[in-house]
Structure 1
């Protein structure tokens, strides 16, 4: 019995020491210097989408996430930390990206995230890297030609949890019903199965869906501006400044334009000048 008590005491002591050490070595994100840590590690950890064609999509053949935002994050990493620096990617969704940033799982979010006043209360944003606009994706031949038709017909519009697109469409089409799905893949499946007459989000994302699904088209122009920015913790000013400087340099040296052309050159109706607005 005495032996058991001694062993139990030793285990409890070791557990206590582990907890203390862990607590001492773990600082809240607001107290860390993300830029300094990344410079030492030569690595930046980015939260990216893995279900959004053209921006961030998981390639099942090699298990790599590929897209405009992924390539831009790689270019930013090297511009900020040097040619031998590496970009690390962690998959996020519209509903998980903010919590993961706050928890310190990622250094920054580059995941089709619109810079809005409400979000600026929680995070800091970089300068705009893609100027999108909210639109609708419908089946070719649909009677829904724009958001006004959606309102008049009291149709069902599909959206994604965590995206501000649903809130926006509710303002311009209050008569429409709303069905929110977990991600864009589920939303597209719901559109195909007739659970809704239109899918709404940023036109950049919808263009990717139309490329993958030729029977569907982007319609009605844009009814809300959706400037994409890179989201970071509000206390990481040095990191934010470094990101903005790198983004400016990529625009000036032509790398930004090359990446934009690489991913959107075959998208019908894509407006390069509009997308590249700052």
Structure 2
């Protein structure tokens, strides 16, 4: 557990850079499957991705340029909102100081396609609850941050096709009486991130868990990894988050593990500002190429490098849906 806390602390050293740009989106001067669906628990609450007709269906792919692509090329770099704290997904490796992970690998592929180099990226670390704001205010061009596509969010941002399938699950200490997303949560202190689909799920059906903020115990946090710290310190009894993220946290701390089965089905997409249709289509073309090649596709190579040790049995990415 001490080692896990050490990695957590090291990963959070990068200062938040959400602000600092002008309101018109001016940039900083420097450059710096078919996947098997997760098992569902009896009585599972459907994820928001299932409460309306295919919110993850996106625009047809295209390699054509457009006004957004032209602006990015003129600037010479892609500004991307990412996580720096999610082990295996988007984290700053304390040994190298380099941002790495499954999401970061996809960012590099997008930058290489648009700008000809995977290094032409300005990374901005943004909290979970500021992803939409960062897009709407023009602070970033895209967000690649384990962001679930759902019916509410497609009103606020434009999304690519799905690049990963996940589900909400409970993380708790190995000796905990909590067995999953069920009545064993009653009266237990549960942590989740504000603005996350986990928070929405608990709000809809909490099983008696105590998860909202109070004057004495903050159980909703801006960054999801803060929940692991609270769990390690004994300030909460469990965490509810995407199983993809929770698997990385369990890999950091052998004293905790995933409980029960995933109780939602969710899809991660690359997000951009509403109206940036040329950028959405270009990213979808990148994803077409990223999925190609079967077991030797860039997607599968990234999966084997970053996720296979903790999320076993995945045979490929979710199939894209178009509208």
Class of the TM-score when normalised by the shorter of the 2 chains? 0.7 to 0.9
- Compare 192-201 and 121-130 and name the one that shifted more: 192-201
**Which structure has the larger Rg over C-alpha atoms?**
1
Instruction: Map 1:1-278; keep pairs closer than 5 Å.
Output: 26=24, 33-83=67-117, 86-151=120-185, 153-178=186-211, 179-253=219-293, 254-267=297-310, 269-273=311-315, 276-278=317-319
The structure carrying a bigger helix percent of its residues is 1
| Contact map agreement 2:111 2:118 (CA 8 A) in 1 | no
Q: CA deviation at 1:60?
A: 3.4
Q: CA deviation at 1:27?
A: 7.6
Kindly provide the CA deviation profile for residues 107-131 of structure 1, in whole angstroms up to 9, marking residues without a partner as x: 0000111101111111111100111
Gaps of 5+ in 2: 1-21, 27-65, 212-218
| Contact map agreement 2:78 2:122 (CA 8 A) in 1 | yes
User: In structure 2, do the counterparts of structure 1 residues 114 and 189 end up closer, same or farther at CA, with 3 Å as the change threshold?
Assistant: same
Q: CA deviation at 1:172?
A: 3.1
Aligned residue for 1:221, secondary structure, equals: coil
Higher relative CO (Cα under 8 Å, sequence separation at least 6) belongs to: 2
User: In structure 2, do the counterparts of structure 1 residues 93 and 57 end up closer, same or farther at CA, with 3 Å as the change threshold?
Assistant: same
Q: TM-score, normalised by structure 1?
A: 0.82
The structure carrying a bigger strand percent of its residues is 1
Gaps of 5+ in 1: 1-22
d(CA) in 1 for partners of 2:154, 2:312: 28
Aligned residue for 1:45, secondary structure, equals: strand
Count of aligned positions: 249
| Contact map agreement 2:183 2:208 (CA 8 A) in 1 | no
